[in-house]
Structure 1
Amino acid sequence: MTARIILRNGNFDEIANEEIANGTKADGDTVSFVFATPVPDVAYLRIAITSTGPGTSPGVRTFGVYR
């Protein structure tokens, strides 16, 4: 997967360009992240960013997700 992730106010606002094996998502399409249940009080979402679009840099990010 190649994705350019835009963060606004510390939250996932949109994934601007995601290419996946079974198709391509268009700009502004919504992508949901589903955690296994039971959901812990704090979960962490690790995303590898491989694009070099504006506002992004390659690398792995870890985001805290609170329920």
Structure 2
Amino acid sequence: MAHSAVPASAPVAVAPISLSALAPWAAFAAVVTLFLLYLVGVEQGAAAIFQGENVHEWMHDGRHLLGFPCH
């Protein structure tokens, strides 16, 4: 078995991603992360963006899992 069924190929060079191409995606990820952190950690109802207690109740277990006190 000296011959392989798959021909050998040269390694493909991967072009590096420039910071200017990465910056908008990093900013978007940061905004989404901060919004989710707000929903889980801060949204309590007293100083809330959303009316009522629905968001608080939906995020309740996640809040305790991440160590945020809520009552």
TM-score (norm 2): 0.17
The structure with more helix, counted as a fraction of residues: 2
Structure number, greater radius of gyration: 2
TM-score (norm 1): 0.17
